[in-house]
Amino acid sequence: MKRIYLSAFCTDFRDYDRLAALARAEADTGIELGTSWHYPEFNALLDAQQRRLADLPITLHAPFVEICGAPDSEERRDMERRFRRAFRWYRDFHADSMVMHTHEKIVLPEERTQLQEYARQAIWAVAQEARQKNVRLMVENVGYPAKSNVLFDQEEFIALFGDLPPEVDALIDTGHAMANGWDLPAVVERLGTRIGAFHLHNTDGVHDLHRPLFETGLCYTPEQAEDLLRVIGQYCPAAELILEYAPGPHITHSLIHSDIERIRQILQ
């Protein structure tokens, strides 16, 4: 049975009791924990979950911090500090993997080439530390035109994995790819088993809405989402699947159970 994870974003990185209950209600289902968010008690709250979540498979999302700062900048030093803390959480939660973004900031056209190089340097530095600490690292596609923060387009993102250490996998975020107009089946076919995981969610093709994968009236119809899952099953059958849904009243046991069962039926 394929392991599926629920992102802590589903409960706003706050209601871990509810998140754990949603995961425990499904067979072989874990949790993706974030390692930063925007409220001041976040770190203490996450630290308090170690014993509570000890029975669940865990994967981590690295801090939402600027990656492509200049090597001698305060941005880079802040990234290094916060990643050290994330590596500690990786050990403390006995995590299976950790994903990082390529960047966060708005990308001006005249800065793009330089920022790409800074991002590559930073990812390499994180990858070296990950290797030393036995952390399985993945890199996620982020940025989309409506937010003016596209750093790597489809071809550049695929090419990035020719430059990175072979143990660093890709994580494909379906909503980010949709907002960029990427050909998702082609990306999956070309990267193949170099894809270690997916953030599964749907959007309107413009924004980053993090709606449920099979919700109607969005960029991918339920039928297209099913077709994409079949491509995933063909080209990267071992990839982790993470439901990264935005919080709200729609996050119910019924929705989570229905989506997980639908995914597993398609991939069986």
**How do residues 179-221 score in pLDDT, each as one tens digit?**
999 999 999 999 999 999 999 999 999 999 999 999 999 999 9
How far are the Cα atoms of 33, 63, 239 from residue 101, in angstroms, in the given order?
Answer: 15, 9, 18
Give the tens place of pLDDT for each residue, 159-180. Answer: 999 999 999 999 999 999 999 9
Segments forming the whole domain that contains residue 27: 4-267
Q: How many CA atoms lie within 13 A of 134 on its CB side?
A: 4
pLDDT tens column, 14-50? 999 999 999 999 999 999 999 999 999 999 999 999 9
pLDDT digits (tens, 9 = 90+) for 64-103: 999 999 999 999 999 999 999 999 999 999 999 999 999 9
pLDDT in tens, 141-162: 999 999 999 999 999 999 999 9
Tell me how many domains the chain contains: 1
User: Residues 125-146: pLDDT tens digits?
Assistant: 999 999 999 999 999 999 999 9
**What integer pLDDT is reported at residue 94 of this predicted model?**
98
CATH number at residue 15: 3.20.20.150
Summarised one tens digit per residue, pLDDT across range 209-265 is 999 999 999 999 999 999 999 999 999 999 999 999 999 999 999 999 999 999 999
**DSSP 8-state secondary structure symbol assigned to residue 206:** S
Q: Name the region of 159 (left: φ>0; alpha: ψ -120 to 50; beta: rest).
A: alpha
1 pLDDT band, cuts 50/70/90, is low
Residue 123, C-beta contacts closer than 8 angstroms, at least 6 positions apart? 67, 100, 102, 139, 164, 168
* Rg of the chain (C-alpha set): 17
